[in-house]
Structure 1
Amino acid sequence: MVSCLWDKRGKEVSTPQKTTWEIEPHTLAKHEILRRYLGAWFPILGTAFQNIVYIDGFCGPGRYDGGEVGSPIIALREAKKHRNRLQKNRLIFHFVDERPDRISQLNDELEQIEVPDNFEIRPVARAFEHEFRDLLNNFDKDEFQKAPIFAFIDPFGFKGVPFDLVQKLLKKPRTEVFINIMADSINRFLEHPDKVTRQHISDLFGTTDVFKIAQDSGSRVEDLRLLYQEQLKKHAQFVRYFEMRNSKNRPIYYLFFATNNSLGHLRMKQAFWKVDSASGVRFSDATNPNQLVLFELDESETLAKELQNKFMNQKVQVKQVRDFVINKTSFLPKHVTKALRLLEKEKEIYVQTLKSDGNKRRKNSFPDEVIITFLSRVPKQRSLF
């Protein structure tokens, strides 16, 4: 187990001192999200771009004590699955970790893998902040100006990932970032008097407004999530988060995904839903996957309420509803029809009977051009008997 104690430098006191360590359930879930997304990312980009860049910050040794593979090996395996489609591309993998022993271990792991000739693997033992800054400067060269870049940034603490670097990455076309923000631990250091610690926190968020959250009596961890989310939205059209909880079912960190590509946004949401089929937004070490989660709202009910709040008293085409769900919510296209069927059944929407071509729509179908009227919601009265 990895504890959650931190020193004044923003680094976990009990960060594993060994080269390798035991993996935890939430890390497995995180890696599953990464694996699924990269499985879609590599082949899509390979059809349109010559160079493809993958960056893994705080990459670790490539394998855990129990033999489970780490993120560098996951990325290489997913790329290799599509080697035939990528054989004309140049793939550059940057694996960065400040611990030389872990990079040495990673090199040992990499030697066991047959790597295609067009894969360039660059493990570096260096502080991520410095290496990342140099990489971004080098990417300004003609060779990489148009290359798609995916950066997976997974620190143990809150040191060494200043927001200005994330901002600089997102200014480049076709870039995406998947970053771990340790909100629970940051929360416990919001009122720390040490200037260095406070600087690390404000650097991470890109604003000193983060310290105002310390005065909030509400959910400070959630407020930290909202603040980082808003910071990302200033630089990316699409921002999603996934909440990770510990064995006590307490939020410990958030995985944020930011992109300006609508397809990338959809693919990441699909990866989230594969890990959390109930809501697409969280994973808990406390949850037994073999047990049902009691009182969890059906996703169609949750989305139906969200659609009512968005479109109440409006007439809109089904396509407008779909676009809203795909681009502005955590839900997937497949959830739209179920939610609209529920709203129609509850008589909370009126659906035009004819399609634009004059033909009658089939029952329970919602073609894009059909007009829906969202009615005012009347609270249902509960019977006293």
Structure 2
Amino acid sequence: MEELQEQTVWRSDPHTQVKHLVYRHYLQCWMAKILQTFREATIVDAFAGPGVYTDGPPGSSLVVAKTFLEHTAHRRFGKLNLICLEERPDRVEELKRQFPKLPPSPQLNISVQPPGKFADQQSQLSMLAHRGRADTPVLWLIDPFDLKSAPFSLIRQCLTGSRDEVLFTLFTNELHRFCQRENFDKAVTPYFGGNHWQVATSERRPGGCPVNALGHAG
């Protein structure tokens, strides 16, 4: 975690590589369906990072661009707008240095936004992504470093368009740690956007710690 906070570029880990593999598979299907049906669509990488890791793998924004450029149906695609947001200026500059290394394509429009926080920029990003049309397909990639940066109330705002989709990181490990602390509701309630999560029932596994199981209507 210290490496992530201090360095511009850091080493990847197995979780990141698996996550990006999931991204690639999802993007291949999404692009094949959406970009052969609509003339234009948008992907927003809301926590873009520097675009590369010290051990070589591309970051999420580069994964999106490379998936587009290498797709077998690329020649039949409509236009893809890729909008990237990153909070730290040093990482924004590194991201800008990575994109020119890719082959150019008139069908791919890449926009790296000035440094900013997702919570402050979401409404502006939404306007840019939809291009004045509420029915423009938009896929949001929301992968923050912590749960505080992307509460569900903010994710909900990314789903106002009729063809909006969201891929987001659910911090199950962090939520598990919080649930074992006193006054953990002060962190969890803002994340879920309300106290409705408190309908969860508490269970205890043999020899283990309590497990919260969300109740549901039958």
* TMscore range, shorter length: 0.7 to 0.9
Q: What does 1:226-375 correspond to in 2, within 5 Å?
A: none
Moved more, 119-128 or 204-213: 204-213
> Aligned AA for 1:208?
N
Decide which of 124, 134, 155 is 1:134's aligned counterpart.
124
Counterparts of 1:211 and 1:14, CA distance in 2: 34
**1:107 maps onto 2:96 in alignment:** yes
| TM-score normalized with structure 1 length | 0.49
Counterparts of 1:148 and 1:210, CA distance in 2: 30
Equivalent residues of 2:35, 2:80 under 8 A apart: no
**1:26 maps onto 2:15 in alignment:** yes
After TM superposition, which residue ranges in structure 1, 4 or more long, deviate above 4 angstroms? Answer: 137-141, 219-222
Decide which of 64, 75, 78 is 1:84's aligned counterpart.
75
The structure that has the greater radius of gyration is 1
Distance of aligned partners of 1:28 and 1:85 in 2 relative to their CA distance in 1, 3 Å threshold: same
Note the alpha carbon deviations across 1:203-226, whole angstroms, 9 max, x for none: 32122234565x8243789647x5
Q: Which gives a bigger RCO, structure 1 or 2 (Cα 8 Å, sep 6+)?
A: 2
1:113 Cα deviation from its structure 2 partner: 1.4
**1:207 maps onto 2:198 in alignment:** no
Equivalent residues of 1:53, 1:91 under 8 A apart: yes
Counterparts of 1:218 and 1:180, CA distance in 2: 26
> Aligned AA for 1:66?
D
Question: 2:171 maps to what in 1?
Answer: 182
Tell me how large the CA RMSD over aligned residues is. 2.7
Equivalent residues of 1:52, 1:92 under 8 A apart: yes
Question: 2:29 maps to what in 1?
Answer: 40
Moved more, 162-171 or 150-159: 162-171
1:144 Cα deviation from its structure 2 partner: 2.9
Q: What does 1:44-63 correspond to in 2, within 5 Å?
A: 44-63=33-52
Note the alpha carbon deviations across 1:278-324, whole angstroms, 9 max, x for none: xxxxxxxxxxxxxxxxxxxxxxxxxxxxxxxxxxxxxxxxxxxxxxx
Counterparts of 2:68 and 2:28, CA distance in 1: 7
1:14 Cα deviation from its structure 2 partner: 6.0
Q: How many residues align?
A: 209
Distance of aligned partners of 1:73 and 1:137 in 2 relative to their CA distance in 1, 3 Å threshold: closer
Equivalent residues of 1:150, 1:176 under 8 A apart: yes
Counterparts of 2:46 and 2:55, CA distance in 1: 22
Note the alpha carbon deviations across 1:214-252, whole angstroms, 9 max, x for none: x8243789647x58xx8xxxxxxxxxxxxxxxxxxxxxx
> Aligned AA for 2:69?
K
Question: 2:202 maps to what in 1?
Answer: 216
Counterparts of 1:144 and 1:135, CA distance in 2: 13
> Aligned AA for 2:80?
L
Please give the secondary structure, in 2, of the residue aligned with 1:170. Answer: coil
Equivalent residues of 2:88, 2:116 under 8 A apart: yes
Distance of aligned partners of 1:121 and 1:139 in 2 relative to their CA distance in 1, 3 Å threshold: closer
Note the alpha carbon deviations across 1:307-357, whole angstroms, 9 max, x for none: xxxxxxxxxxxxxxxxxxxxxxxxxxxxxxxxxxxxxxxxxxxxxxxxxxx
Counterparts of 2:32 and 2:65, CA distance in 1: 13
1:37 Cα deviation from its structure 2 partner: 1.2
Counterparts of 1:26 and 1:73, CA distance in 2: 17
| Percentage identity across paired residues of the two chains | 24
Counterparts of 1:59 and 1:221, CA distance in 2: 35
Which residues of structure 2 form unaligned runs of 5+? none
| TM-score normalized with structure 2 length | 0.83
1:27 Cα deviation from its structure 2 partner: 1.1
Counterparts of 1:110 and 1:19, CA distance in 2: 16
Counterparts of 1:84 and 1:53, CA distance in 2: 17
